Amino acid sequence: MNNLIRSEISKLLKDRTFRFIVIMLFTIAVLAPLFFGDISGMEANEFYSTYILSGNHQIVIYLPLILAGFFIANEYQSGTMKIFVASGNSRMSIYLSKLLVLSLGSLVIMTILPTVMLLSSCIIHGFSMFPDLTFFLQTLLLNGLYTVAFATFVMIAATLLNESGKVIGVLLLFFALFNSILGGISGMFPMLEPFIKNSIFIKYNQLPFLDHLDHFGTEEIMSFVIYPVGVIIVLSVVGVVIFNRKEIK
């Protein structure tokens, strides 16, 4: 499996979509603070939540699915996946190595704005803009955890749909409408409401407000960790099962 992972990392680094996303985000992260205007009256945590976490919020959801569409789904279209399956490696090893590297690429994408933009902002506007270190590390680590959870979700979509256009189109539509979709499901099946309220989609929307978690209990705080970890484990197993049964042409 080590050889598979090294091969996937090499492909990721050469992937034009991944390179373009990284360069685009790095450029935005460096230049955006020049246009923030007067932020001297803002508290550091408020600035970080408003200007950086909010900007990174959609990136964590949308850019990894674009990466999955080109990095994973294209291999079904080009026939590369069939070659992998015929190489003698187990399907589980192939799937998990691709998921691991997709997650790694998604984490790189997720990290750029919170780190590079924050550093650029501090250089331009002063280091008084640096948020509370605990809050910064909490949001960075939890964003990373949810990024991996979303990566396991989009990996399954890429496996089922095969074509990059379908993967990107279907997932863009789902993520744009997930509040309405989950609300409709909750209304139709009230017994599912507790699961929906604690889904990674709902929990992720609360991450920018972690500095207010003193109002919550320990159980609520731990739920931000437990649910995405559970999703990663469950969806990884489901993805392996789907990939094992999939006919690859």
CB 1 within 8 A of CB 95: no
Mean pLDDT value of segment 40-59: 80
More confident residue, 223 or 22: 22
**Residue 230 φ/ψ, nearest 5 degrees:** -60, -40
Mean pLDDT value of segment 108-132: 87
pLDDT digits (tens, 9 = 90+) for 185-197: 666 767 766 676 7
The pLDDT value recorded for residue 136 is: 86
How does 217-228 read in b/e, with b if 16+ C-beta sit within 10 Å? eeeeeebbeebb
The pLDDT value recorded for residue 165 is: 65
CB 247 within 8 A of CB 85: no
Lowest-pLDDT range, 55-64, 76-85, 149-158, 220-229? 76-85
More confident residue, 247 or 34: 34
Mean pLDDT value of segment 114-118: 90
Mean pLDDT value of segment 71-97: 77
Which of 39-53, 67-81, 195-209 has maximum average pLDDT?
A: 39-53
Residue ranges in the chain assigned as alpha helix (H): 2-14, 16-31, 44-47, 54-71, 73-78, 80-85, 91-112, 118-125, 133-161, 164-188, 193-197, 200-204, 218-245
Q: How confident is the model at residue 3 (pLDDT cuts 50, 70, 90)?
A: confident
In terms of Cβ atoms closer than 10 Å to its own Cβ (0-12, 13-18, 19+), residue 34 is exposed
Mean pLDDT value of segment 101-127: 89
Q: How confident is the model at residue 220 (pLDDT cuts 50, 70, 90)?
A: low
The pLDDT value recorded for residue 213 is: 55
Check whether 219 has a pLDDT greater than 70.
Answer: no
- Distance between CA atoms of residues 87 and 85, nearest Å: 6
Mean pLDDT value of segment 233-240: 91
CB 121 within 8 A of CB 129: yes
Check whether 112 has a pLDDT greater than 60.
Answer: yes
User: Cα dist. 167→26, 71, 157 in Å?
Assistant: 25, 11, 6
Q: How confident is the model at residue 48 (pLDDT cuts 50, 70, 90)?
A: confident
Check whether 215 has a pLDDT greater than 60.
Answer: no
